[in-house]
Chains A and B, each alone.
Chain A
């Protein structure tokens, strides 16, 4: 038995190997992959069925609907109930839906749903599909037609940039912490207030949870949670004013294209523009238009290829909100803030008179840089008010120089600090996503952008800043906000939404009224307002407003933007005595401020107040 003994030892080795193999595998399965299997075990038995909550409505200040919900019929298939009849059922469905069975199959093979969750395969189906399926249920095992709510836009494209649009949540959003609790098939606000107020509009989805065994039998039903509908948004917006603003902006832009521009040797391109109508006392946005625009309803059924190209690939970029997402040099609309800075810092006084020569050279500068008035002529010695009225530039160049010398001594950047008091260079805080904050060029900015400033910190930076030019950039909304502060003495955070209401009409939250006083006296502010009134009564905008009975204070602006044509600006306060509205227009490549932007503002004011304003449809070639 000696040989048998050695062979038994071989057998023992084989058996030992079996135990090693089994324990190794168990280690991997239980200890290393244990947590994953634990989750799998839980997913196996716990089933959650969610019911979407009805998304909140969006209405204007008078309660008129901008966005509401409507019912779409959706065909869904439950894969567990489909069983072996898949091919036949898809063929039957294909016939009544007019969609290839292969497409339905692909929709059905999605990985977004658990096998027990019904998968949507067709939306917006006609009612007859519902009846056909109900008549012959045996032909459609596991198929159901359910009502699904989708967004509807009773006002068409009106306020498209403001309400925004909704769409299926993206993979990136799903990973973001603010979307915790969302499922992969959920709809979320993608732009406009739909995005900003997502958490209010969405409501709480209902949830039913079951413990099921392997046969799918429900063993235990946890207390169901009914869906809580989303809150409604009431906007500060006035639909009538919004419509006027959009119409006048488009008309103004199109008129500008007929104007011959001397300096570029072609017609004005006027490719885009924005209008802001602001209630300066609260910061409420009464209207905000951006051109070109789009239709939010395109997103409801999914974009067609031409729609997608228009929205995302055309150079017009119609989805951009020019009022908040693009910054422009504010040009001469910036001058009132610089004038007040000069007064506050002791460089000028409200009673003083200052030279307005045809050109200006920085003292001691030998580079040969000469700064011209916009019209190339001098106007003698002028008060601050008269300088604003004709938009004299050389007065401001001088103050820019003075600020630069002061700064060289004190290092305090007083001009920059002063203009920031009006909200420039930082977010306005408006309730719209992806707001641009603009720039106020200072030492740090210059240091960070050496490619733009090859010569570093030079006097020209302050000199150009004094006329709102160079790298000074602001959104139209920021300029409107600053004029609001000029009109009331308070800088208010602009807001589109004024109230959030729950389903019962109770106010859950009020938005707006975030205003703070600016450090300027009433005397200083009323001096500037009076000066700006002169702009429309004998100043650069007097031709435009000559036939208008309204009491308007305003300022034109023409900002250079090489290699493109000038940006046209007009910011107006009406009535100047007791300001109710700030109306501001900006037209990209729109030429002079008095030429394109000012008539847009005048027409809007005229229609808001229903008073006829006679005057040229195209203004004068004045800054």
Chain B
């Protein structure tokens, strides 16, 4: 008898017997790798400021511990409750995105209104908005009356996506916006939205992006970053700096790396934002091609488990949930690492589990919790 989810399971289908241990091990390894990389990226600077060199690693460990608690909490109740409360979750997310824009409530940096300051922790609602969107879309998709979504369905789903998307985009947070668009597009695809509907969505997106450029919603620095990516030779040195230093760091790692805590670029602090968005450069420089591939391998295993869970779930809601989370991890990993090694423009997306930052860590853990939950209760 398992009363937590309010239903009765046959003995062999009890959720506790279907915990995806493999997934937990992979996440554990990613977290562990993250601590090592973070220490390397931050200890020198902290020492120079006469601070505890473990300051940031300790803080990240605390966040990770909270994250693990969230994973376990998430696994204890039946994920189908999320479907029941999807509207509330969605509303809450949208509300927080509005509140973060209110002066005195939300904090800002570099002209972007992005987070709440709570008891020394920064809470970034856009990180959680991604999960809110996944839950809301999964709930809507699983309740569709037709096996192939109609025009009206697609319009409704787009509206659901657009509300948080516009709020995030205008913060402005282009990175998270890209992730949200990818999540929506991927979930539509898996839900079987018609090809011509998807095509018209792409056209509308392009028009909107062009409009954003025209109306000046895109900031100059974002344009510069894009230009730096498209036409590197002719970009001013200061804009190119991030890209160049990151590439030098990763490239100088060679096959087996400079050795832990021995990367020149890392120890001498040549890569800006190295502990957050550019954490991958530490793996590349200090552990070389081998180390970088190891990190990629961990992500590959994570995504394999996520897609497998989506596939195994007998419940459409569970499939869509897992799909959304898988896409979230995939796109964040690809855009972040791609940016670090120069095949994607700079957009400010954190690398799940590795980048320093509380909200990103917690949101990623919640995502894992959802995956775990769907796996545990994949039978109808």
A369 at the interface (CB under 8 A from B): no
A-chain residues with CB within 8 Å of residue B248 when the two chains form the complex: 37, 40-41, 44
Q: Are the C-beta atoms of A30 and B251 separated by less than 8 Å?
A: yes
CB B149 to nearest CB in A, in angstroms, measures 12
A214 interface neighbour in B186, B247, B270, Cβ under 8 Å: B270
> Which of A3-11, A260-268, A522-530, A590-598 lines the interface with chain B?
A3-11
Interface residues of B in 69-96 (CB under 8 A from A): none
B54 at the interface (CB under 8 A from A): no
User: Which B residues touch A36, using CB under 8 A?
Assistant: 251
Give bound CA distance, A29 to B246, whole Å. 11
Neighbour of B253 across the interface among A5, A25, A34, CB < 8 A: A34
- Given A1-B316, A26-B341, A44-B248, A214:B269 Cβ within 8 A: yes
A176 at interface, CB cutoff 8 A: no
Q: Does A409 contact B (CB under 8 A)?
A: no
Q: Collect the chain A residues with CB atoms within 8 Å of residue B343's CB.
A: 21-22, 25
Interface status of A112 (Cβ within 8 A of chain B): no
Question: With contacts A8-B311, A36-B251 known, is A30 near B289, CB below 8 A?
Answer: yes
Cα of A219 to Cα of B334 in the assembled complex, Å: 36
Establish whether residues B268 and A29, one from each chain, have CB atoms under 8 Å apart when the complex forms.
no
Question: CB distance B251 to A42 under 8 Å?
Answer: no
A546 to B246, CA, bound (A): 88
Which B residues touch A29, using CB under 8 A? 247, 250-251, 284, 341-342
B192/A8 in contact, CB under 8 A = no
Binding-face segment, A12-20, A92-100, A535-543? A12-20
Q: How far is the CA of A12 from the CA of B316 in the complex (A)?
A: 18
Decide: A45 near B192, CB < 8 A? Known: A1-B314, A19-B300, A22-B341. no
Assess whether A27 is interfacial by the CB under 8 Å rule.
yes
Is there contact, CB below 8 Å, between A1 and B319? yes
* B292 on the A face (CB < 8 A): yes
Q: Could you tell me if A4 and B192 are in contact, using CB atoms closer than 8 angstroms?
A: yes
Given contacts A18-B333, A213-B270, A214-B268, contact A26 B307 (CB under 8 A): no
Question: Looking across the interface, which residue of chain A has its beta carbon closest to that of B318?
Answer: A1
Cα A40 to Cα B243 with chains together (Å):
13
A interface residues, how many (CB within 8 angstroms): 39
Q: Mark A331-365, 1 if CB is under 8 A from B, else 0.
A: 00000000000000000000000000000000000
Q: Cβ of B289 and Cβ of A31 under 8 Å apart?
A: yes
B191, B307, B342: which contacts A15 (Cβ < 8 A)? Answer: B307
Instruction: Tell me whether B264 is interfacial, beta carbon within 8 Å.
Output: yes
Chain A nearest CB, measured from B111 CB (Å) = 20
Interface residues of B in 251-298 (CB under 8 A from A): 251-255, 264-265, 268-270, 272, 284-285, 288-289, 292-293, 296
Residues of B within 8 A of A3 (CB): 147, 192
**Interfacial chain B residues near A18, Cβ < 8 Å:** 330, 333-334
A211 to B44 Cα, complex, angstroms:
14
> By the criterion CB–CB under 8 Å, are A22 and B186 in contact?
no
| B25 CB to nearest A CB, Å | 20
Contacts of A214 in B (CB 8 A): 245, 268-270, 272
Known A-B contacts A11-B323, A41-B248, A44-B248; A26 and B292 likewise in contact (beta carbons under 8 Å): yes
**Candidates B186, B249, B334; contact of A41 at CB < 8 Å:** B249
| Docked complex Cα distance between A40 and B265 (Å) | 10
A27: B residues at CB distance < 8 A: 289
Interface string of A86-129 (1 = CB under 8 A from B): 00000000000000000000000000000000000000000000
Shortest B364–chain A CB gap in Å is 17
Interface contacts (Cβ under 8 Å), in number, total 130
Check B189 for interface membership: any CB of A closer than 8 A. Answer: yes
Interface residue A240 (Cβ < 8 Å from any Cβ of B)? no
- A12: chain B residues at CB < 8 Å are 307
Which of chain A's residues has its CB closest to B192's CB? A3
Range, interface on chain B: 35 or more
Q: Which residue of A has the minimal Cβ distance to B271?
A: A214
| Structural contact, B268 and A45, CB atoms closer than 8 A | yes
Nearest chain B residue, comparing its CB with the CB of A21: B343
B365 at the A interface (CB under 8 A): no
Is there contact, CB below 8 Å, between A44 and B186? no
Q: Does B139 contact A (CB under 8 A)?
A: no
Q: Does A221 contact B (CB under 8 A)?
A: no
CB-CB under 8 A from A10, the residues of chain B are 189
Are A219 and B254 interface neighbours, CB within 8 A? no
Shortest beta-carbon distance from B30 to chain A in Å: 15
A30-B253, A30-B284, A34-B251 known; A25-B190 Cβ under 8 A? no
**Partner of A30 from B264, B292, B334 at Cβ < 8 Å:** B292
Give 1 or 0 for each of A282-313: 1 = CB within 8 Å of chain B CB. 00000000000000000000000000000000
CA distance A293 to B316 in the complex (A): 97
Expressed in whole angstroms, the Cα–Cα distance for A3 and B326 within the complex equals: 18
With a cutoff of 8 Å between Cβ atoms, the chain B residues found around residue A8 in the complex are: 190, 307, 310-311, 319, 323
A182, B341: Cα distance in complex, Å: 35
Chain B proximity of A394: nearest CB distance (Å): 78
Tell yes or no: B303 within 8 A of A by CB. Answer: yes
Q: How far is the CA of A509 from the CA of B116 in the complex (A)?
A: 78
Q: How far is the CA of A34 from the CA of B341 in the complex (A)?
A: 13
Cα A216 to Cα B323 in complex, Å, equals 47
Q: For the complex, is A316 an interface residue (Cβ under 8 Å from B)?
A: no
In the assembled complex, B327 has its CB within 8 A of some CB on chain A: yes
Against A, the Cβ 8 Å flags (1 = close, 0 = not) of B332-348 are: 01100110011100000
Given contacts A8-B307, A25-B341, contact A30 B288 (CB under 8 A): yes
* 1/0 contact string of A376-392 vs chain B (CB within 8 Å): 00000000000000000
Which residues of the partner chain A approach B288 to less than 8 Å between Cβ atoms?
30
Please, which residues of chain B bring their CB within 8 A of the CB of A14?
330
Give the residue among B251, B303, B326, B330 with the most A Cβ atoms within 10 A.
B251
A507 close to chain B: CB less than 8 A = no
Complex: how many Å from CA A31 to CA B253?
8
Given contacts A8-B323, A27-B289, contact A213 B247 (CB under 8 A): no
**Contact assessment for B254 and A26 in the assembled complex, using a CB-CB cutoff below 8 Å:** no
Partner of B284, one of A5, A11, A19, A26: A26
User: Is A51 at the interface (CB under 8 A from chain B)?
Assistant: no
Note all chain B residues with C-beta closer than 8 A to A63.
none
**CA of A40 to CA of B292, assembled, Å:** 20
Is A33 in the interface zone, CB < 8 Å from B?
yes
Does A38 touch B at the CB level, under 8 Å? yes
Given A3-B192, A7-B190, also A30-B323 (CB < 8 A):
no
- A23 contacts the other chain (Cβ, under 8 Å)? yes
- Docked Cα-Cα span, A18 to B147, in Å, equals 30
The complex places the Cα of A421 from the Cα of B253 at a distance, in Å, of 64
Interchain CB contact under 8 A, A37 and B268: no
Pick the contact of B303: A15, A31, A212 (CB < 8 A).
A15
List B contacts of A4 (CB < 8 A): 190-192, 316, 319
Cβ A213 vs Cβ B316 within 8 A: no
Contacting residues of chain B (123-161) with chain A, CB-CB under 8 angstroms: 147
State the CA gap A7–B270 with chains docked (Å): 43
In chain B, what residue has the closest Cβ to A35? B254
Tell whether, in the assembled complex, residue B268 and residue A211 are in contact, meaning their CB atoms are under 8 Å apart. yes
Is the beta-carbon distance between B270 and A45 smaller than 8 angstroms? yes
Q: List the A side residues contacting B319 at CB < 8 Å.
A: 1, 4, 8
B232 to chain A, nearest CB (A): 14
B296-A30 in contact (CB<8A): no
Chain A residues in 8 Å Cβ range of B253: 30, 34
Contacts of B250 in A (CB 8 A): 26, 29-30, 37
**Which residues of A sit under 8 angstroms from B338, Cβ to Cβ?**
21-22, 25
Contact check, A44 vs B296: say whether CB atoms are below 8 A apart: no
Q: Of the candidates B264, B310, B342, which one forms a contact with A45 in the assembled complex, judged by CB atoms under 8 Å apart?
A: B264
In the complex the two chains form, what is the Cα distance from A41 to B307 in whole Å? Answer: 39
Closest CB of chain A to B21's CB: distance in Å? 22
7 contacts between A and B (CB under 8 A): A7-B192, A18-B333, A21-B334, A22-B296, A30-B253, A37-B251, A45-B264
B-side residues, CB < 8 A to A, are 147, 186, 189-192, 245, 247-255, 264-265, 268-270, 272, 284-285, 288-289, 292-293, 296, 299-300, 303, 307, 310-311, 313-314, 316, 319, 323, 326-327, 330, 333-334, 337-338, 341-343
